[in-house]
Amino acid sequence: MPDAIHAAISLMDAPSEKLTVRTSYNLTAFSFTPEMITKELQKHTPGLKVEYSIDPVRQSIADSWPDSIDDQQAQIDWMWKPKYSFELMVKDCYEQLSTRLTSK
């Protein structure tokens, strides 16, 4: 979420003469699999076990999406660059959720 907010503010601050896309820009930072996120979460919670099953309907929708998103125009027009890595995103989400769950 912090990168999405950063992107929105950066786009609003960009000089309008630099913006070549008038509909919407694609943005990307990283992709991950369930296995990757499980391994990263286990760094914060050793012994964590994760079970999931693939929903064929949702998987067919996901399979119809492109393998990657091209955000080159945002990089060129307004110098878009994500600040969060996959590891930092997991750490931030873990800390935010842990704080909320322990404060109840």
Q: What is the pTM of this model?
A: 0.74
Q: What percent of the chain has pLDDT over 70?
A: 99
Span 57-89, pLDDT tens digits: 999 999 999 888 999 999 999 999 999 999 999
Give Cβ neighbours of residue 68 (< 8 Å, ≥ 6 apart). Answer: 28, 31
CB 30 within 8 A of CB 86: yes
